[in-house]
């Protein structure tokens, strides 16, 4: 059955004519209001050569004033039209500049068809290869390569054939299967909506026909699967509302729920106030289950329990969207539909050169970069390969402090270690180990600038606790960098990994029933928050040793400030690298106050 909505992504290099092509497509299908067309006859871009009174089709898609002034497309412009067969077409006009790669990726993530324009007067360019690569990466099922401006090349078949041969190398390299090449002229209208007599040597479809003939993938026979978007309550029932992802749910089906593993039977299916016997893919419905098992937003409902295989380790492609570079080992929030989990990039395998497809070595990803990474979630999630399921194969990463969306990802596959490694429980637990030592195990995390007094306070606190019979240990940042963390530098990503390792060691010590004291600069709030998140409530005490940088420079116990001033340490915290003051620490100590006073404050908080 044909889909009711087709999503078309258009992309090309600057001045390839994609805005003009979309504008003509809209006008010739009567999809533009007459007053808008009237404005397009009067308004002119700077430097436009279109005669007065004729339509500047490109103005019908560019919405930003900056675009009209520069004659380029910056943002993604969306337009809607109705095809001859009654289906609705949503067109996204993506920017062609490399610095707007992230805009194109977002538009491509939902596209069914990718329309890639090539200027016949210029041939295949670097950006053309990048656009094809992104379309393949984002799972666009059909690619239409429109070789535009053939009117400027006297409609010669030789020009079309040469470009087709050139682009075929990239098409074959990417493994694109459904590709249609169309010679056309957006300006003259040849082969856009209507067949042209100017190119009798071409016997293929027009652009509109190539779009209209596309068929959605057939998931007939697939087991039914749906994410819970909300719990719908009424006087006579409690239902699970969502959009069917694949397959068909029918009244009487037995279904399983993830993550609870509970099973139930569908007693009713309701949509728009009426009951139906079955619901197919893409239908928004409410399932009423018998018995009324507990289900929460984000839970997955499926007729086949094998579809609910969850994992916490994945290989993925990620597009970095943020101006601040990706920091592996830093904790972000991963969202996939209504499901979410803290997550971190554990490994950057390579960065993709989207122009050539080459794999480049990388330690981080900058804005607009696309990388092949390994990612770990704190809890198991039902995520599938993006090529098999866009719905369950896509995710975004959100900065846990700023709430900015920093990355968009596509799952490649789960990692075997996700199912091969299991947590082993033992009879003696943390509570028993703490009780044996007659103390409450916890982590005391001292953070502050170098020279603030963290190590001095940690040493004095351990002495006092030891004298009182407590079982405790100090994890000092410098000591750990002589062994466990000797491979790490002082870049933001290495500092994130340093904090991650120390927090994991501290967690093990707390599990052993110890009071563990860490003395670590740990300059970034996100890394400290991630450290706190792996401990149980009340087990982690963040203590900010607040000492002015001027005092730290005067003390300079390790000579680091002197080296920094001499240019020997370019990214020294507090001088060449920012220190993010804790926003909500459990305790603030004045680093200039007497040591006994600070120890007294700590003991009152701990004991």
Q: How far apart are CA 223 and CA 244, in angstroms?
A: 11
Paired tokens of 559? 């000579």
Q: Is 17 exposed, middle or buried (0-12, 13-18, 19+ CB in 10 A)?
A: buried
In 10 A of CB 179, how many CB atoms? 17
Residue 31 annotated to the active site:
no
State the Cα–Cα distance between residues 186 and 178, nearest whole angstrom: 23
Q: Which of 511, 440, 509, 523 is nearest to 475 (CA)?
A: 509
Whether the CB-CB separation of 345 and 369 falls below 8 Å is answered with: no
H/E stretch holding 91 = strand 88-93
Report the alpha-carbon distance of residue 484 to residue 491 in Å, rounded.
17
Q: How far is CA 184 from CA 21, 51, 167, 208, 273, in A?
A: 10, 21, 16, 12, 48
Element spanning 447, H or E: strand 442-447
Catalytic residue among 522, 533, 564, 600: 522
How far is it, in rounded angstroms, from Cα 498 to Cα 567? 23
Find out whether the peptide bond into 523 is cis, omega within 30 degrees of 0. Answer: no
Helix (H, G, I), strand (E, B) or coil at 552: helix
> 31: Cβ–Cβ under 8 A, 6 or more apart, which residues?
25, 79, 80, 81, 82
Over the Cα atoms of the chain, what is R_g? 30
Report phi then psi at 391, rounded to 5.
Answer: -60, -45
Q: How far is CA 474 from the centre of its chain?
A: 38
Do 378 and 343 form a contact (C-beta atoms < 8 A)? yes
Q: Where are the beta strands (DSSP E) in 298-364?
A: 300-302, 311-320, 331-336, 339-352, 359-360
Torsion of CA 134, 136, 139, 141, to 10 degrees: 120
* Active site (catalytic) residues: 522
């Amino acid at each position: 059955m044909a889909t009711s909505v087709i999503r078309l992504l258009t992309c090309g290099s600057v001045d390839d004519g994609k805005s003009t092509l979309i504008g003509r497509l809209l006008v010739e299908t009567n999809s533009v209001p007459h007053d808008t067309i009237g404005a397009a006859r009067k308004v002119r871009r700077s430097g436009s050569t279109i005669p007065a009174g004729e339509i500047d089709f490109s103005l019908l898609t560019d919405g930003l004033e900056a675009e009209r002034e520069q004659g380029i497309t910056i943002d993604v412009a969306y337009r809607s039209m109705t095809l001859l067969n009654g289906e609705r077409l949503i067109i996204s006009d993506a920017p062609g500049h490399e610095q707007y790669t992230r805009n194109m990726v977002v538009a491509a993530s939902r596209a069914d068809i990718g329309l890639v324009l090539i200027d016949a007067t210029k041939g295949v360019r670097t950006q053309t290869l990048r656009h094809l690569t992104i379309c393949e990466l984002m799972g666009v099922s059909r690619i239409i390569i429109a070789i535009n401006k053939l009117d400027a090349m006297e409609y010669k078949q030789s020009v079309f054939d040469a470009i087709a041969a050139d682009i075929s190398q990239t098409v074959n390299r990417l493994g694109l299967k459904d590709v249609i090449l169309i010679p056309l002229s957006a300006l003259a209208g040849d082969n856009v909506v209507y067949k042209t007599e100017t190119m009798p040597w071409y016997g293929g479809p027009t652009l509109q026909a190539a779009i209209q003939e596309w068929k959605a993938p057939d998931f007939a026979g697939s087991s039914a699967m749906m994410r819970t978007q909300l719990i719908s309550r009424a006087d006579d029932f409690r239902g699970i509302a969502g959009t069917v992802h694949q397959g068909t749910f029918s009244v009487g089906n037995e279904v399983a729920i993830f993550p609870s593993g509970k099973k139930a039977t569908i007693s009713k299916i309701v949509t728009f106030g009426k009951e139906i016997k079955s619901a197919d893919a893409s239908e928004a419905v409410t399932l009423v289950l018998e018995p009324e098992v507990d289900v929460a937003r984000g839970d997955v409902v499926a007729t086949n329990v094998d579809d609910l295989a969850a994992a916490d380790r994945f290989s993925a492609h990620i597009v970095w969207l943020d101006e601040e570079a990706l920091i592996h080992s830093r904790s972000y929030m991963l969202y996939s539909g209504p499901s979410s989990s803290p997550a971190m990039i554990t490994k950057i395998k390579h960065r993709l050169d989207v122009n050539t497809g080459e794999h480049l070595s990388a330690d981080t990803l900058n804005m607009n970069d696309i990388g092949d990474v390994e990612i770990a979630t704190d809890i198991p999630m039902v995520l599938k390969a993006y090529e098999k399921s866009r719905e369950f194969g896509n995710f975004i990463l959100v900065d846990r402090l700023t709430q900015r969306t920093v990355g968009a990802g596509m799952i490649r596959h789960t990692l075997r270690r996700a199912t091969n490694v299991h947590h082993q429980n033992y009879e003696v637990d943390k509570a028993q180990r703490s009780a044996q030592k007659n103390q409450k195990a916890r982590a005391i995390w001292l953070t502050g600038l170098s020279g603030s007094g963290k190590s001095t306070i940690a040493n004095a606190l351990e002495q006092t606790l030891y004298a009182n019979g407590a079982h405790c240990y100090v994890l000092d940042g410098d000591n750990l960098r002589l062994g466990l963390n000797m491979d790490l530098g002082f870049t933001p990503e290495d500092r994130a990994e340093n904090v991650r390792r120390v927090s994991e060691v501290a967690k093990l010590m707390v599990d052993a029933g110890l009071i563990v004291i860490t003395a670590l600069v740990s300059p970034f709030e996100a890394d400290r928050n991630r450290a706190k998140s792996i401990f149980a409530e009340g087990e982690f005490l963040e203590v900010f040793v607040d000492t002015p940088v001027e005092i730290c420079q005067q003390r300079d116990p390790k000579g680091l400030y002197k080296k920094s001033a001499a240019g020997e340490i370019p990214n020294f915290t507090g001088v060449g690298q920012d220190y993010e003051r804790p926003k909500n620490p459990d305790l603030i100590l004045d680093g200039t106050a007497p040591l006994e006073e600070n120890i007294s404050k700590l003991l009152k908080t701990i004991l």
